[in-house]
Amino acid sequence: MRDGEKSRYALRSARPEEVDEVFSLYEKRVRWMDEKGIRQWNDTDYLNAYPADYYREMRAKDCLYVLTDVATGKITGAAVLLSEDERWAECENEPAFYVHNLVTDSSASGAGRALLAAAEALGQAHGKRYMRLDCAVDSAFLNGYYESLGYRAAGQCEDGPYVGVKRQKEL
């Protein structure tokens, strides 16, 4: 984590009234991908695969977390943290947090790094040994980004047209 990011952002469980605001982050990110010519969520019908009701369900299960700007209280990122993931069935007996649906506001510098660092601290507090996630196999940027944060490649997964690189970090 870079200097200042820890104090700039805070991670907490999402509140029921925040789900629509969280979902708007995903909508904004898909528009950003269109603008930047990045083919990812905008090519996989992501918003229909993970509609607002999905995030309401994750919030009800206390699995939806938001990253807020400490100074303004604005939600700058979100992620779903699960204790099980069928994509990692071979590791089901290893305590881990599985990071899904990670999104940040494109104008929030360092929010992704801060969100993952805070999730890692939460994982340690909950006795997790690993943080695990996946990203598109053909996204050189994301694969390089996660690698730079210590998330090492640990196989591949497929979900319909999506092919991902499974990545993990030991806590």
Contact in structure between 2 and 113 (CB atoms under 8 Å):
yes
Report how far residue 78's alpha carbon sits from residue 97's, in angstroms, rounded to the nearest whole number: 15
Q: What is the pLDDT of residues 139-166, one digit of tens each?
A: 888 899 999 999 999 999 998 778 899 9
Amino acid at the residue 163: V
Q: What is the pLDDT of residue 162?
A: 82
Q: Who contacts 97 (Cβ-Cβ below 8 Å, separation ≥6)?
A: 81, 82, 83, 119, 122, 123, 126, 128, 130, 131, 132
Q: DSSP secondary structure string, 56-125?
A: HHHHHTT-EEEEEETTT--EEEEEEEES--GGGGGGTTS-EEEEEEEEE-TTSTTHHHHHHHHHHHHHHH
pTM here is 0.92
Please say whether the dihedral angle defined by the alpha carbons of residues 15, 16, 17 and 23, taken in this order, is positive or negative: positive
- pLDDT band, very low/low/confident/very high, at 3 (cuts 50, 70, 90): very low
Q: Is the pLDDT of residue 5 over 70?
A: no
Report how far residue 48's alpha carbon sits from residue 32's, in angstroms, rounded to the nearest whole number: 17
Instruction: Please give the DSSP secondary-structure letter assigned to residue 129.
Output: S
Instruction: Please give the DSSP secondary-structure letter assigned to residue 42.
Output: G
Nearest to 14 by CA among 98, 103, 134, 124: 103
